[in-house]
Amino acid sequence: MGMGENVETGDAGARASASPPAEPERLQQALAESEERARSHWEQYLRAVAELDNVRKRAQRDIEAANRYGLEKFAAELLPVRDSLELAVQSADQGEFDLRSLKQGQQATLQLLVKALDRIGLTPINPVGEPFDPTRHEAMLAQQSATAEPGTVLQVVQTGYELNGRVVRPARVIVARA
């Protein structure tokens, strides 16, 4: 019995002695692979952080440019109105006008202004006959009416305006009451 055990122990010992050199090599290889993956992930992280920083800086520049130059289109649309008004003042200074031509000049200038405001998306609010809407209208007066239902707009005292669907100035109105 003693010999059989020694033989088995010897075989197991031989296998155990052959195995330890392979285990450290496998662990070293696994460590090297893990270190390479960690290096790769770190580089990806640094690139992602740099890209995020670039996107943030680009967005900040875009916001600054929009704030700085956002009114450029509006200013360009208003320049013809200014030119027309300057011509009217020059004509008045020289005494070269009559009431009819003065009125025509004012109408032309008003049309230039209306077109400029239309091009930038400013639209009038004219709610005559519509139900009163406190988000778009400002009631100046409530008045009895034999023809209109209570709560409807009878008359616009001052036109309101919306810019791309957002109220810039509510329409000032007279509302029918019960």
Confidence of residue 20 (pLDDT cuts 50, 70, 90): low
Outline where 94-132 has alpha helix (H).
Answer: 99-119
Number of domains in the chain: 3
Radius of gyration of the chain (CA): 41
Q: Are strands 171-177 and 137-144 parallel, antiparallel or unpaired?
A: parallel
171: left (phi over 0), alpha (psi -120 to 50) or beta: beta
Place of tokens 């409807």: 152
User: Both 7 and 34 in a single domain?
Assistant: yes
* Same domain for 81 and 34: no
Domain span at residue 3 reads 1-69
Domain boundary among 69, 93, 109: 69
State whether 115 and 128 are in the same domain.
no
Residue 75 and residue 54 share a domain: no
Q: pLDDT by residue (tens digit) across 79-122?
A: 899 998 888 888 777 776 678 888 888 899 999 999 988 888 89
Are 169 and 131 found together in one domain? yes
Specify the pLDDT at position 7: 46
Say if residue 104 is in the same domain as residue 94.
yes
Q: Give the percent of the chain with pLDDT over 90.
A: 56
- CB-count exposure of residue 144 (10 Å: 0-12, 13-18, 19+): exposed
CATH at residue 168: 2.30.22.10
3-class secondary structure, 70: coil
C-alpha 12/C-alpha 14 separation (Å) is 5
> Under DSSP, is residue 138 helix (H, G, I), strand (E, B) or coil?
strand
Residues 7 and 46 in one domain: yes
* Residue 12 shares a structural domain with residue 59: yes
For 24-59, write each residue's pLDDT tens digit: 899 999 999 999 999 999 999 999 999 999 999 999
Residues 87 and 40 in one domain: no
% of the chain at pLDDT higher than 70:
87
- Do residue 178 and residue 153 come from a single domain? yes
Q: Are residues 59 and 83 located together in one domain of the fold?
A: no
Residue 80: Cβ-neighbour burial (10 angstroms; 0-12, 13-18, 19+): middle
Residue whose token pair is 């509006």: 74
Asked whether residue 63 falls in the same domain as residue 76, the answer is no
